[in-house]
Amino acid sequence: MKKIIVPVDFSKHSEYALKVAALFAKKYNMTLYALHMLDMQEFSISENPNLKQEKGIFFLKLAEKKFKKFLSQDFLSDVNVVPIIKHYKVFSEVNKVAQEVDADLIIMGSHGASGLKEFFVGSNTEKVIRYADIPVLIVKNEIKDISFSNIVMATDFSDESVPAFKNSLQSLDFLQAKKHILYVNLPNENFKTTPEMETMANNFLTKVDGNIDRLINVNFVCARSIEKGILNFANVAGADLIVTITHGRKGISHIFEGSISEDLSNHATLPIMTFKL
């Protein structure tokens, strides 16, 4: 990994993300792209065009000044930071910028969401997860150590997820961490017996690595929801990072089927890294 994008909205959570990105940049000699999407207020159609332009310039200059101050913090002093300002707030734009600069990772701070707000609105982080083609690392708190050494990698052992799981393994090799592969068995029509889960794991790992050497690190847990199963196991294992595969569902399919990655980004206190199918 050589390039990181951090969306910045001047909140304490985006500062958490910026600090984590700075740690990565210093430790692994990465370039940090700080992205601010200017949330320009909509102007009246009947408003004078010259006045619109003046307002646009005013808000742009104000954002540039605030952005420059935000990026002048001590923890960024030895980091190669490239500031980027976009004049509109569209969450698919983060992925577009990532493609333009050939970024390897997006790091975002998140305060999560809950209740009706989560269902009807969701968080900005969720929206970025849905559109991102590259891994997204979500941090909820200030992190002073990025030596992730104990990672939980949740999977459903599906053929569809093989490429993304393989990509996640390759992308995380530089961390040299222990990886716990986790399958959550649910008490419903999809319930699997132990022999069935072992067969699934064997077939999956053979497709991922061409062998079953990682089988020693495969774990099966039973829980009432995948989210709870992952969080409980991560706590027991003493994990410092959770990795999931996301479908990036949008629209109607997202409302009815939901996203485990988004649920985790809302409710987990540990950092979460998502990889898209």
pLDDT digits (tens, 9 = 90+) for 8-22: 988 899 999 999 999
Domain that holds residue 191: 147-277
pLDDT band at 2 (very low <50, low <70, confident <90, very high): very high
267 vs 118: CA distance, rounded Å? 11
Chain CA centroid to CA 60, Å: 28
Shared domain for 158 and 135, answered yes or no, is no
CA distances from 176 to 53, 148, 171, 173, 201 (A): 52, 8, 11, 5, 22
Helix axes 92-101, 124-131, angle to 10 degrees: 50
Shared domain for 267 and 172, answered yes or no, is yes
Shared domain for 64 and 159, answered yes or no, is no
Total of domains in the chain: 2
Cβ pair 93, 37 in contact under 8 A: yes
Shared domain for 157 and 30, answered yes or no, is no
Shared domain for 119 and 193, answered yes or no, is no
Shared domain for 119 and 43, answered yes or no, is yes
Range in 184-198, 233-247, 256-270 with the lowest mean pLDDT: 256-270
Shared domain for 237 and 155, answered yes or no, is yes
Of 141, 168, 186, the last residue of a domain is 141
Asked if pLDDT for residue 255 goes beyond 50, the answer is no
Shared domain for 156 and 267, answered yes or no, is yes
177 vs 174: CA distance, rounded Å? 8
Of 94, 115, 141, the last residue of a domain is 141
Q: Across 48-62, 106-120, 151-165, which has the greatest mean pLDDT?
A: 151-165
The pLDDT, as a whole number, for residue 61 is 79
Percent of the chain topping pLDDT 70: 81
Name the token pair of 122.
């969701």
Of 141, 172, 189, the last residue of a domain is 141
More confident residue, 52 or 83: 83
CATH at residue 1: 3.40.50.620
Asked if pLDDT for residue 24 goes beyond 70, the answer is yes
Shared domain for 134 and 163, answered yes or no, is no
The pTM for the full model equals 0.85
pLDDT band at 199 (very low <50, low <70, confident <90, very high): very high
Name the token pair of 44.
């009246």
Task: Please enumerate in sequence order all residues whose Cβ is within 8 A of that of 202, keeping only pairs 6 or more positions apart, or say none.
Answer: 212, 215
Shared domain for 134 and 166, answered yes or no, is no
Shared domain for 34 and 168, answered yes or no, is no
